[in-house]
Chains A and B, each alone.
Chain A
């Protein structure tokens, strides 16, 4: 990754301008060409440096619902339970975290009722109580990794 990549990634994290010819606008800012920019973004997507390019939706505006939830999984069953969760389309992310609550996942459903049903389903599947922590207030969302 060179200096140009760093500037490109930093800039792209802030978003494309909602103007006509957005790549051209960006190219002028970064003193490059629109063609070269798009090609480099494609390469960074292909090699996994970037995971996605597109609108970052707040899905709740579209009628969806999310929650953050956790399980406290006995070590011997950890991988098996991770597989059970991985098979559920409602499970968007799942991380192991070093804590008594050792499995933390995000559920995404079309409706709040869908979340409740999914939590019940996970409890039935795993036999473990789900710690369900839907957000009550958002103070900040702004994933940005300066390079």
Chain B
């Protein structure tokens, strides 16, 4: 969290997170619902949300579809061993492809040589193979090796929730 945020604003942000991490109710005016619970005026509440969205702390306030239900049953985690010198150029290029949903640089390890990750989703196996091929063409000689790890089973999916822990005690792990 950035140092220029006042303690009261920090507390407000934690409260907002705890209130809405599991989702917002489908009430007529969701901003009024939040404002009431945060003890803010409607304008201040909207301004807070706009600030958070401007900073990227909230990406958007949106609906998340079940992609399996929408027919996107194939997902591949494509992984690439990209030369470090080319990464600053190629990472954003791969990330900007419309079929890439998430794209990150991650560290190499002794038994893991891939440093660029790009997630692709499709309705058929051929579709994601095609996406992989298109990324391969973008990377060209800057990529030494690649792989695609196809998911075959969801073992757990709860979403990312930390408010109960950031707000209170950190559990002993």
Mark the stretch among B87-95, B126-134, B136-144 that contacts chain A. Answer: B87-95
- Residue A74 interfacial (CB < 8 Å): no
User: Which label, helix, strand, loop or mixed, suits the secondary structure of the A interface?
Assistant: mixed
- Cα distance, A62 to B165, chains bound together (Å): 11
- Residue B63 interfacial (CB < 8 Å): yes
- Cα distance, A21 to B24, chains bound together (Å): 15
User: Which label, helix, strand, loop or mixed, suits the secondary structure of the B interface?
Assistant: mixed
Is B173 touching A94 in the complex (CB atoms < 8 A)? no
- Cα distance, A86 to B153, chains bound together (Å): 14
The residue from A19, A49, A97, A133 contacting B152, defined by CB atoms under 8 A apart: A97
Which residues of chain A are near B124, meaning CB under 8 Å?
Answer: none
Contact A93-B170, Cβ < 8 Å, known A61-B55, A133-B106, A141-B102: no
Number of A-B contacts (CB under 8 A): 251
User: Number of contacting residues on A, CB 8 A?
Assistant: 78
Q: Which residues of B from 91 to 114 have beta carbons under 8 Å from A?
A: 91-92, 94-96, 100-107, 109, 111-112
Q: What sequence of 0s and 1s flags, for each residue 69-113 of chain A, a beta carbon within 8 Å of any chain B beta carbon? A: 000000000000010011001111111111101011110111100
- Residue B40 interfacial (CB < 8 Å): no
Which residues of chain A are near B57, meaning CB under 8 Å?
Answer: 57-58, 61-62
Contact A12-B62, Cβ < 8 Å, known A61-B55, A92-B160: yes
- Cα distance, A97 to B121, chains bound together (Å): 14
Interface centre among B24, B94, B162, B170 (most CB of A within 10 A): B162
Q: What sequence of 0s and 1s flags, for each residue 7-49 of chain B, a beta carbon within 8 Å of any chain A beta carbon? A: 0000001101100111110111111000000000010001001
B158 nearest CB neighbor, chain A only: A92
A105 to chain B, nearest CB (A): 7
Contact A62-B156, Cβ < 8 Å, known A95-B151, A97-B149, A133-B106: no
B165 nearest CB neighbor, chain A only: A110
A137 to chain B, nearest CB (A): 4
- Cα distance, A18 to B62, chains bound together (Å): 11
Interface centre among A23, A42, A133 (most CB of B within 10 A): A133
Taking Cβ atoms with an 8 Å cutoff, the residues of B that contact A are 1, 13-14, 16-17, 20-24, 26-31, 42, 46, 49-50, 52-53, 55-67, 69-70, 72, 77, 87, 91-92, 94-96, 100-107, 109, 111-112, 117, 121, 147, 149-163, 165-166, 170-171, 173
Beyond the given A23-B29, A93-B158, A101-B112, please list 6 additional residue pairs across the A-B interface where CB-CB is below 8 A.
Answer: A15-B59, A23-B28, A58-B59, A66-B160, A108-B162, A140-B92
